[in-house]
A = this chain, B = another copy of it.
Amino acid sequence: MALVLAGVASTRAQDPLPSWNDTAPKKAIVAFVEKVTKEGSPDFVPVSERIATFDNDGTLWAEQPMYFQLLFALHRVEEMAPKHPDWKNKEPFASLLKGDVKGALAGGEKAVGEIVMTTHAGMTTDEFDQIVKGWIATAKHPITKRPLIEMVYQPILELLAYLRANGFKTFIVSGGGIEFMRPWTEKVYGIPPEQVVGSSGKTKFEMRDGKPVLVKLPEVNFIDDKTGKPIGINQHIGRRPIAAFGNSDGDLQMLQWTAAGSGPRFCLYVHHTDAEREWAYDRKSHIGELDKGLDEAAAKGWTVVSMKDDWKSIFPPEKQ
């Protein structure tokens, strides 16, 4: 009995997931990791095949009241406006410059496409990298006023570290822009650029003053969302994840693709249920809609995290 208690005490001391309540999701995660890392077990998975993929918006960091990449684009429109006097009479820019984001986005996908292309193309990849780094260093959340890089989910940061400590390679697979994420994911999540999969525009190789540059073109290369997620995983990673983590219907095909492999599999949905500490939304949300995914998770026995019930804390402590 003393030995058993000692065992319990020491595992608690080393709890790799301290921000998780001791509810079903945490138990399922730990059981999965212990199973696939136990040599000689029938469920053992070699290190090279321990691939885990994470959605970004709504899974690694928040996505309300709008995708943070859209905040970046709006900021860029303001910065670029002095050189584009015609924008005063041209939608969606005219509305944006008046501070009317809703009016600008009333133009739907076409308007969003125009805002993204205008703000994400026309410079070199190196220049864009610097622009993103400069912005993210000080960008704050419009409601909480916290730095955006602190609007990340503490329990998921712990999960990333726990998986990596157990030989997993952790990847981001996001509908967000690949070049928007790469400048900061290593610092914020410990995920290096080569392990980031995302949407992208085309680029063009050019020589400028004898120096090669890649110019970002206003042309879509790849949309890493829905069926694009397994396609992007196949293209970038070239093997099937054994664990996948998402929060919306945009992640459903990634979870299906992961679940369909042979051997042990782990699929998890983060369910935004905490209106007090974060936001509560699911089946009818314009951002991060989780509808079909909730049904399939129930039908397939995937793990669903209720942020309200399963997480002790949501965000990291505020820095002093």
Contact = CB atoms under 8 A, between A and B. Distances in A.
Interface string A161-195: 00000000100000000110010001000001111
B238 A196 contact: yes
B200 A235 contact: yes
A236 interface: yes
Contacts of A178: 235, 238
A91 B237 CA distance: 36
A211 interface: yes
A303 interface: no
A234 interface: yes
A214 interface: yes
Contacts of A230: 205, 212, 214
Q: How many identical subunits does the complex contain?
A: 2
A186 B48 CA distance: 10
A125 B234 contact: yes
Contacts of A235: 178, 200, 203, 221
A44 interface: no
Interface residues of A, number: 34
A257 interface: yes
A193 B238 contact: yes
Contacts of A239: 182, 193-194
A51 B192 CA distance: 12
Interface of A: 48, 51, 125, 169, 178-179, 182, 186, 192-196, 200, 203-205, 211-212, 214, 221, 227, 230-231, 234-239, 253, 256-257, 260
30 contacts: A48-B186, A48-B192, A51-B194, A125-B234, A169-B194, A178-B235, A179-B238, A182-B238, A193-B237, A194-B194, A194-B195, A194-B236, A194-B237, A194-B239, A196-B238, A200-B235, A203-B234, A203-B235, A204-B227, A204-B231, A205-B230, A205-B253, A212-B253, A212-B256, A212-B260, A214-B230, A214-B231, A214-B234, A221-B235, A236-B236
